[in-house]
Amino acid sequence: MVSLKRQLKQILIHRQHKLYERELISKNLTYDEWIKSQEERLNISTIKVLNKKKLTNDSKSGDYEWDKLENELKNSENDADFEFLEVFDGSGQYFQGTMTVLCASALSFCKRAEALLQKYCPDVVVLSAQEGRISGIAVPLICQAFGNSENTLIIYGDEDRVKDGGEPGERGIRENPWFKPDWSPDRFLSSFYFGTLAAFRTKAILDALPSVKSMAENLPGGAAKDKDKSMDGAAWLYALSYEILKDTCAFEKGHDYEKLSVRHIRQVLFHSLKDGCEQTESLRLPERMMKEVKPEEKPLLSVIIPSKDNPEALFYCLDSLTERTRSSYPFEIVLVDNGSREENRQKILRKVQELNGQSCLRGCRYYYKAMPFNFSAMCNLGAEKAEGELFLFLNDDMEIVCPDWLDKMADKALLPYAGAVGAKLLYPGSDIIQHAGITNLRVGPAHKLQFLSDEKVHYFGMNRGVHNMLAVTGACLMMRKDVFAEAGGFCETLAVAFNDVDLCYTVFEKGYYNIVRNDVMLYHHESLSRGNDGDSPEKQLRLLSEKDTLYERHQPLYGKDPFYHPYLTTDMLEQAYSPAYRYQVTLDMPWSEAVLDTGVVGKAREDKCLVVGMECAMDIFKWKYGVPAEHMPGVFEEKGEKSPEKDARRPESFGDTGYYFQGYSFIIGADNACYKKNLLLKNKDDGRVWQIPVDNRYRPDIKNNVQDQQNVDLTGFAAKLKKNAVPEGVYQFGMLAEDKCSRLKLVNWSNWVLEVRTDGKTFG
């Protein structure tokens, strides 16, 4: 009998594995498949390449001047690196007549650029810096973009790699995409992130040529790689780009992309034979290319530190600040206390007196005002009392590591287009990243790369050099006084969370660029002051309410980030920069039916080996648009007004009247292929539990983090629930996992809650 039971169980396990593998195959898309489906949607069918002409040694043009140029090319190892194209827009929407395009290797082109341009007079020149293939969609998209705006002088795009050097779509499998940010002036100054391919208007090249060669030869990383090459092709491309951009509005305040001289096409324009970053990471502009501030012109810098009843951490921060900082900028310290106990207040007063005796400081002042914790109000008070022209808002749990950190941040903050400037923060005594800039995802502001090791270079250098980000953390945030005033300071409605993000979003909306210096590193003894957000349902509801406030104030930015490519994951709280094909977040799933539990959950074994990670639980309309329907202009019209157009703007017309849930769950030490899961909602008042079927999702990020666990590829889950499917109240989330090969049932609960109200509003 025992043997028969074992055999039966093995049959059940085998069946579950087959079902699991079948589902995994259907949901595990490859990048090659996914990117082709994205490119099929592009509207470039009217733009045709009419003629192609290879300018090679085999060309028999009969033209003496071309033959002369051809003989020169015989001495080059890249004598077939030139192609001349005529492009026609059948719609006439983007440009009239034909646009002529010269495609070339940057290294070959730079040696005889003037001769080529004068002979063939192309409208556009497309240059590549390493071996590979220009994408089939590249030239039509480039011509479309140049035709769209006369102001555009340079275009760059994304790139991927072709495995084993095959042709894309034939032998070659596309992999390892580099999806880049839109124009990022500070990343450009830090490294040539345009990468392998860039396109230029011919006139812009001709105007820049006289200055390019000497600059390229002096670029760090741009020296000749062997005696047969006058310079590195990527370095020449970088120098050319800089010479064209430096006298345009590219390094000025403003985000009007129609007026910018540089444009990013958010599509793969080049298939490389190796990673593009290998050639561009070492390239950066010398410091002399940037604005220098004379010592006598360096303004006073005010370091503003909010703190309460945390003297040990505060004093450690102050000591590291005064002892380890070597700054050419004069600086003062402004301490803001919202109500420390008298004993601690006296300790701080004595410390202030001690600091005022140090020559490295212009002074230290202490402002005490008992009030409820409000980070925004404390920072605004510090700014009001500060005397400097530069403000540095610094948490009291920071530890200074790099002596030149203040100068590097201040040099950036003084640039006329600079908004907030932040630094890379690590967890103390480790190489683990806590902060490397804030990315604006659909699920909210996210700290990409958090908890990953800084020893490794992540996603084409995102933890190296200098980057433009939509926001930086208020734990270490520098800004000019005039920019802070223009933004209106910190929003005091956001007392605890998202106040730094809100300030950065406001600054961005004013036209400034926010910057994170990953070449400046500090230790952050995180949350020593007030604990972690989300520890309790009350804290979580407050956090979610403040996130709602953030996006109500910045609704046009919801789900958008010009420095984070839309082909990267926008709907997952994962640390890595991952292409979106891995997750397929979508709402096209059937509605789940909430079923009132009849006692199954109560009989299940409550066990923390069942991991429950909630990532999203919110109104679908708000998930799509960032604000509740009642706050969306034009959604609800005045009573009595009826028309098809107005009715079409109501959320119910889009099927948006419901809730969306998303997260991950797995059982530690078990074969996860054998388990079926149901999401649980438990009413906090009456204890009733509702079961909700979920759709499994492929989650390679979870698999990579728990590689010792079995069958955790499909640990993601998602579900949709219609409005009024459950009664009003506050609900706690949980998970029920049922082993389909035994009678074992497990249950565990998350700290996440969802508040459903009779007025239709939800917090979650």
Which residues of the chain have a pLDDT value below 70? 1-2, 55-81, 164-171, 220-231, 275-282, 286-292, 527-535, 630-656, 758-764
Residue 437: which of 575, 257, 282 has the closest Cα?
Answer: 575
DSSP state at residue 638: P
Residue 489: which of 386, 368, 407 has the closest Cα?
Answer: 386
C-alpha 497/C-alpha 522 separation (Å) is 21
The tokens 């006369």 sit on which residue?
A: 150
DSSP state at residue 568: B
C-alpha 242/C-alpha 248 separation (Å) is 10
- pLDDT for res 195: 93
C-alpha 493/C-alpha 59 separation (Å) is 70
- pLDDT for res 597: 96
C-alpha 155/C-alpha 343 separation (Å) is 61
Cβ atoms < 10 Å from Cβ of 588: 6
State both tokens at 112: 């005889």
- pLDDT for res 684: 92
C-alpha 54/C-alpha 328 separation (Å) is 56
Q: How many helices (H) and strands (E) are present in the chain, helices listed first?
A: 21, 32
- pLDDT for res 685: 93
Each residue's pLDDT tens digit, 162-212: 986 555 555 578 999 999 999 999 999 999 999 999 999 999 999 999 888
The residues pairing with 476 across neighbouring beta strands, listed in sequence order, are 394
- Indicate the helix (H) or strand (E) that contains 204: helix 202-218
State both tokens at 23: 């589902």
C-alpha 216/C-alpha 286 separation (Å) is 11
Angle at 680 (CA atoms; ends 677, 684), nearest 5 degrees = 165
Q: How far is CA 323 from CA 360, 407, 478, in A?
A: 9, 15, 20
The residues pairing with 756 across neighbouring beta strands, listed in sequence order, are 729, 762
- pLDDT for res 489: 98
Each residue's pLDDT tens digit, 201-216: 999 999 999 888 777 7
